Amino acid sequence: MSAAKLLFAGTPDFALASLMALVESGHMPDAVLTQPDRPAGRGKKLKASPVKEFALGENIPVWQPQTLKDAKVVADIAALEPDVLVVAAYGLILPQAVLDVPNAGCLNVHASLLPRWRGAAPIQQTILNGDEKTGVCLMHMEAGLDTGPVYVSATTNIEADESAGELHDRLAWMGGELLHENIDDIVAGNMEAIPQDEALATYAAKIRKQDARIDWNQPAQFVRRQVRAYNPVPGASFEFADEQIKCWRASIVQDIEAVAGMVVRADKDGIDVACAQGGLRLVEVQRPGRRKVSAGELAGQLDLAGEQLG
């Protein structure tokens, strides 16, 4: 089925892994859809998405519509007569008019074990919730948010110290592999998509900056999961002396009894903070506008022992 006419829609690095897997396996898309270039960095210069940069390097036509609700855009997609539209972290809603175009429908690479964690931030929510396993699914898309039937999935254990960024990279690679192994059978109609169990559905909303503010009134286990879930974006943070300090790595400390948010120890080995249950040892931190440092280095910069963190 290498001759199948294929379109691809995706934007960030997670999508890039799937696009690369398709190209490397001989499934060259007739065109790639990706979001418009966005301002990035301190200079706010327009930056192309990872998917666009790769596609241009492979001489694949790139389309960057602001929306897929434009009738001309739908007509342009239909004119290519695709057998399938593969979607991975595209970032734009596909209206029914687009979903109806490909002969074999639209196929989504989703970073969770559906129906668990539908929505925009399944990887962060998986870690935040303390799930022991996660994975990737190939889902036949329909109008609802990640509600379509699932063709196939792959499962992996979540490591105890794994950050969202590290898990993201593993799942992106797994998604590409799953796509490579199954795309031909799906397009040929040799695989059945199994409906999701709505009773088991959970939702992972888009991450907001305020979600990543550390709440010391939570158990230490939860706060540590916050640190992992929001690394690298947007970064779990706390306030001290009018500074919003980010914590990138932390570990659990047992037998701490103090008011939640109290710094009970701050020295070259780290910074220990009391939580509602247990305590958290800050390992890697970052002050605004500065580089990441060990918590021991921060303890040498700021007089933290005995202070209350916000």
For domain 6-204, the CATH architecture is 3-Layer(aba) Sandwich (3.40)
Within 10 Å of residue 144's Cβ, how many Cβ atoms?
Answer: 10
Q: Using a cut of 0.75, tell me whether the model's pTM lies above it.
A: yes
β-strand partners of 136: 154
43-96 tens-digit pLDDT: 888 999 999 999 999 999 999 999 999 999 999 999 999 999 999 999 999 999
Taking 3-state DSSP, the helix, strand and coil percentages for the chain, each rounded to the nearest 5, stand at 30, 30, 45
209-301 topology per CATH: Methionyl-tRNA Fmet Formyltransferase; Chain A, domain 2 (3.10.25)
Q: How far apart, in whole angstroms, are the C-alpha atoms of residue 273 and residue 261? A: 6
- Nearest CA-CA partner of 52 in 65, 43, 42, 41: 65
DSSP 159: P
Q: Domain coordinates of the chain in residue numbers?
A: 6-204, 209-301
- pLDDT at residue 152 in the model: 98
Does the pLDDT value for residue 1 go beyond 60? no
| Contact predicate 216/34, CB 8 Å | no
The residue type found at 277 is Q
Does the pLDDT value for residue 309 go beyond 70? yes
The tokens 């397009």 sit on which residue?
Answer: 187
90-112 tens-digit pLDDT: 999 999 999 999 999 999 999 99
